[in-house]
Chains A and B, each alone.
Chain A
Amino acid sequence: MKKDYVRPVDFRNGRVDMSHGSGGRAMAQLIDELFVAAFDNEWLRQLNDQACFAVPGGRMVMATDSHVVSPLFFPGGDIGCLAVHGTINDVAMSGARPLYLSATFILEEGFPLADLKRIVESMAAAARDARVPIVTGDTKVVENGKGDGVFITTTGLGVVPEGVEISGDRARRADRVLVSGTLGDHGVAIMSFRENLEFETTIRSDTAALHGLVAAMVAAVPGIRCLRDPTRGGLAATLNELARASGVGFRIREQALPVRPEVHAACEFLGLDPLNVANEGKLVAVCAPADSARLLATMRAHPLGRDAAIVGEAIEDRQRFVQMETGLGGSRMVDWLAGEQLPRIC
């Protein structure tokens, strides 16, 4: 008897069409040849609508993110690895060890399968390197014009070790503020690609999974008060969030902020402030003064924390302002950004 022949998915020239989301054979084939093949783990191989796993004892942490970044591919990464890193980091910022991820895709009709494959393989590599499997997911297709190519949502689960209480409302007066490395890399890398703003730079996105760094930090200083990754809105947004939640103010020093010269320069071109520019592979930590030296040393010993620095401290302030001592020696506020950050000529 002749063996069943199924034409393989055309990843070179094919495009997403409505059949890929309809639940029929085409969708099953896409899932099999792309998602299961790339993410490849025992849960996905079972081809169930859910993943079943034992949960180690302890407190569980769950985090979810949607990713709508444009451009989809940028120096240093793409929407795929950004999604994996982003959710791993959100889970890790509680001090938890990330265990499992889910990933859903909303695909626009007409989206090139070659790009989808590239994104999915990037996600698979990121998940493998982080040792956090993508165990379940979903795919839907929307009509042409109703999506931006692809939207990805990732959800992550993790477990927090005993004795670790990390939360945005725990900062206290005199606590030290640390950042794990250079600020503004991701936002500048993205802007360098945006239409009408092309400039040449070797700045790459810093997108990275930070759970290894966090594990080392928590082991060295279990009493860390706050951890947060300064994504949209940059360090300015994160410090204002922490100030508001904890009911303190912050005072940071401009000279202490690690910023690559090229990021400074790109921000000059566009009239942006590195404090407001997104990061995807950095974290902000708040700890007791006595712990700061040890925490800094631990961070610097880790590949993702080589440029870590102590940048300031929490102060008593009922109005919860974030202040900065400028390089000039004066003072100014570091405020939330008003609306989306736009380049300016004036």
Chain B
Amino acid sequence: MCLAIPALVVERRKGDDAVIDLGGVRKTVSLALVPEAVEGDYVIVHAGYAISRLDPAEAQRTLALFAEIDRAAA
């Protein structure tokens, strides 16, 4: 429903503005809703605003979960 993308915060600018990068494409968005985000963090961006941070460790855990050997198969 809500088109949102995970992007890397590459530069914080004045106020809440920040430059984010997804796959080499950069855009200036607002971090007003996620003010604690710093350069190097990943955030979820929707309609010009970051709405939450993305936790890389959790992301890896989720991917590992997909690949996990099926307990039920045993």
Where the two chains meet, the residues of A that have a C-beta atom closer than 8 Å to any C-beta of B are: 198-203, 261-262, 264-266, 268-269, 271, 344-346
Chain A residues, Cβ within 8 Å of B25: 199-201, 203, 262, 265-266, 269
Per the bound structure, the CA–CA distance linking A262 and B21 in Å amounts to: 10
Interfacial chain A residues near B1, Cβ < 8 Å: 346
Residues of A within 8 A of B2 (CB): 345-346
Q: Are B47 and A199 in contact (CB under 8 A)?
A: no
Count of chain B residues near A, Cβ 8 A: 13
Complex contact A265–B3 (CB within 8 A) = no
Partner of A268, one of B19, B23, B46, B47: B23
Residues of B within 8 A of A345 (CB): 2-3, 46-47
Taking a contact as CB atoms under 8 Å apart, the answer to whether A261 and B24 are in contact is yes
- Whether the Cβ atoms of A201 and B3 lie closer than 8 Å is no
User: Is there a chain A Cβ closer than 8 Å to B26's Cβ?
Assistant: yes
Chain A CB within 8 A of B27 CB: yes
CA distance A345 to B45 in the complex (A): 11
Indicate if the CB atoms of A264 and B23 lie closer than 8 Å: yes
Judge whether B27 and A200 touch: CB under 8 Å.
Answer: yes
**Could you tell me the distance in whole angstroms from the C-beta of A188 to the nearest C-beta in chain B?**
9
Given A201-B26, A269-B27, A345-B46, 4 new contacts (CB under 8 A): A199-B26, A201-B25, A268-B23, A269-B22
Residue of B nearest to A266 (CB): B25
B33 at the interface (CB under 8 A from A): no
29 A-B pairs with C-beta separation under 8 A:
A198-B27, A199-B26, A199-B27, A200-B19, A200-B25, A200-B27, A201-B24, A201-B25, A203-B25, A261-B23, A261-B24, A262-B23, A262-B24, A262-B25, A264-B23, A265-B22, A265-B24, A265-B25, A266-B25, A268-B5, A268-B23, A269-B5, A269-B22, A344-B3, A345-B3, A345-B46, A345-B47, A346-B2, A346-B3
A198: chain B residues at CB < 8 Å are: 27
Q: How far is the CB of B17 from chain A (nearest CB, A)?
A: 13
Chain A: CB-nearest residue to B5: A268
CB-CB nearest in chain B for A192 = B25
Which residues on A sit within 8 Å (CB–CB) of B47? 345
Taken residue by residue from 1 to 20, chain B's Cβ proximity to chain A (1 for < 8 Å, 0 otherwise) reads as 11101000000000000010
CA of A265 to CA of B3 in the docked complex: distance in angstroms? 13
Q: Which residue of A lies closest to B4 (CB)?
A: A345
